[in-house]
Amino acid sequence: MPQPAILNVQHLQKVFFPGTSNERHVLKDVNLTIEPGEFVAVIGNNGAGKSTLLNTIAGTLSTDSGEIELAGHQVTNRPVAYRSRWVARVFQDPKLGTAGDLSVAQNLTLAARHTGSLSLRRYWRGDQEAQYLDLLASLNMGLEQRLNTQVKYLSGGQRQALSLLMATLSHPELLLLDEHTAALDPQTSAEVMALTQKIVTANQLTTMMITHKMSDALAYGDRLVMVQDGQIKLDVRGAAKQALQADELLTMFAG
Ligand SMILES: Nc1ncnc2c1ncn2[C@@H]1O[C@H](COP(=O)(O)OP(=O)(O)O)[C@@H](O)[C@H]1O
Ligand SMILES: [Mg+2]
């Protein structure tokens, strides 16, 4: 039997404040299928509907009509907790992915405990500290020296790196990133992007990454989706994506 798509969104519509003078039709019949192993970069103007799309997939926003399937399971308007066995996400705000008052080790323990995978839970019962140190060292952000530091004392970059690690510990079917480097300085943003690429590749994670940086959308991922005014206006993959130039993309943006 062929593997089901990781994500299948059909005829998705979202209207905020319907029937009022503030009515805003934000998703207009969006169709999007993501196959196993794809790394999709999503770009679009401010207010185009990118985060709304991501939020309806994660389940933090309900839909008005349309269908969402995750790994072959119908999840349309099912709660976030139901979808969390397939989906993990990292937010723009470094504070949202981690618990600031807990140490790095405690955050990792929480993330490991929440994983649905039994084999992974068993794995975590061994010499945890050595495993944590290995994982943290692989991030190259100096976190292996901060195992017992409260997360609120970490830098934004360290905190996003930890959020990424925590989001991927459970081997989610779909990793959702919503401008997860936008709050970082340019240098740290580049480091976290490189780290993202490394983690996605090493774990063969199917990933949907919203970015505000056109250069990142061109440099990362094997597929590029452009959202404009609540619709997908461009969807290129493979060689066509590799060949895409910044000026072409800018022209499409303007149009
Ligand atoms: N929870 C909400 N309630 C009302 N309006 C919203 C909500 N979320 C987003 N919007 C509106 O929907 C439009 C699209 O927002 P968003 O999806 O966040 O855009 P993007 O992420 O592409 O910048 C914006 O006009 C925004 O103000
Ligand atoms: Mg957004």
Q: What's the mean pLDDT in 53-58?
A: 97
CATH code at 247?
Answer: 3.40.50.300
Q: What is the pLDDT of residue 114?
A: 66
Residue 222 clears pLDDT 80, i.e. is over it = yes
**175/11 Cα distance (integer angstroms):** 22
Calculated CA dihedral for residues 113, 114, 117, 120, nearest 10 degrees: -30
Distance of CA 30 to the CA centre of its chain: 18
CB of residue 46 inside a 6 A radius of ligand 1: yes
Q: What are phi and psi of 8, to 5 degrees?
A: -135, 105
In a domain, 1, yes or no: no
CB of residue 97 inside a 6 A radius of ligand 1: no
Residue 38 clears pLDDT 70, i.e. is over it = yes
In a domain, 157, yes or no: yes
Residue 158 clears pLDDT 80, i.e. is over it = yes
pTM: 0.93
In a domain, 67, yes or no: yes
Contacts of 240 (CB under 8 A, 6+ apart): none
CB of residue 27 inside a 6 A radius of ligand 1: no
Q: What's the mean pLDDT in 142-151?
A: 95
Task: Decide: helix, strand or coil at residue 193.
Answer: helix
Mean pLDDT across the chain: 92
Residue 139 clears pLDDT 50, i.e. is over it = yes
* Proportion of the chain above pLDDT 90, given as a percent: 79
Contact (Cβ atoms closer than 8 angstroms) between residue 29 and residue 237: no
**Which residue is listed with tokens 């979202």?**
14
CB of residue 51 inside a 6 A radius of ligand 1: yes
Q: What is the pLDDT of residue 203?
A: 92
Q: What is the pLDDT of residue 3?
A: 84
Q: What's the mean pLDDT in 136-143?
A: 93
In a domain, 149, yes or no: yes
**16/255 Cα distance (integer angstroms):** 25
CB of residue 48 inside a 6 A radius of ligand 1: yes
Calculated CA dihedral for residues 233, 175, 137, 144, nearest 10 degrees: 110
Out of 13, 28, 52, give the residue to mutate to test ligand 1, the one with the largest number of ligand atoms within 8 Å of its CB: 52
CB of residue 49 inside a 6 A radius of ligand 1: yes
Residue 122 clears pLDDT 80, i.e. is over it = no
For residue range 83-121, list pLDDT tens digits in order: 999 999 999 998 888 999 999 998 998 887 766 544 445
Q: ∠191-42-38 over CA atoms, to 5°?
A: 80
Residue 168 clears pLDDT 60, i.e. is over it = yes
**50/87 Cα distance (integer angstroms):** 17
How far is ligand 2, taken at its centre, from the CA of residue 123, in Å?
36
Cα dihedral sign, 243-200-11-16: negative
In a domain, 2, yes or no: no
Closest to 43 in 3D by CA, of 214, 255, 248, 221: 214
Protein residue whose Cα sits closest to atom 4 of ligand 1: 16
Partners of 208 in the beta sheet? 40, 176
Q: What is the pLDDT of residue 28?
A: 98
Contact (Cβ atoms closer than 8 angstroms) between residue 196 and residue 163: no
Cα dihedral sign, 43-81-183-219: negative
Residue 32 one-letter amino acid: L
Domain span at residue 68? 7-254
Task: Count the domains in the chain.
Answer: 1
Q: What is the pLDDT of residue 118?
A: 47
* Ligand at shortest distance from the CA of 229: 1
CB of residue 16 inside a 6 A radius of ligand 1: yes
- Count of CB atoms situated within 10 Å of the CB of 191: 19
Task: Name which of 13-27, 99-113, 122-136 the model is least confident about.
Answer: 122-136
**53/64 Cα distance (integer angstroms):** 12
Protein residue whose Cα sits closest to atom 7 of ligand 1: 16
Q: What's the mean pLDDT in 181-190?
A: 94
CB of residue 18 inside a 6 A radius of ligand 1: no
* Ligand at shortest distance from the CA of 46: 1
CB of residue 253 inside a 6 A radius of ligand 1: no
Q: What is the pLDDT of residue 60?
A: 95
CB of residue 26 inside a 6 A radius of ligand 1: yes
How far is ligand 1, taken at its centre, from the CA of residue 40, in Å?
21
Partners of 26 in the beta sheet? none
How far is ligand 1, taken at its centre, from the CA of residue 52, in Å?
6
Task: Decide: helix, strand or coil at residue 232.
Answer: strand
Closest-lying ligand 1 atom to the alpha carbon of residue 210 = 21
Q: What is the pLDDT of residue 174?
A: 98
Q: What is the pLDDT of residue 126?
A: 55
Protein residue whose Cα sits closest to atom 18 of ligand 1: 51
**200/39 Cα distance (integer angstroms):** 8
* Proportion of the chain above pLDDT 70, given as a percent: 94
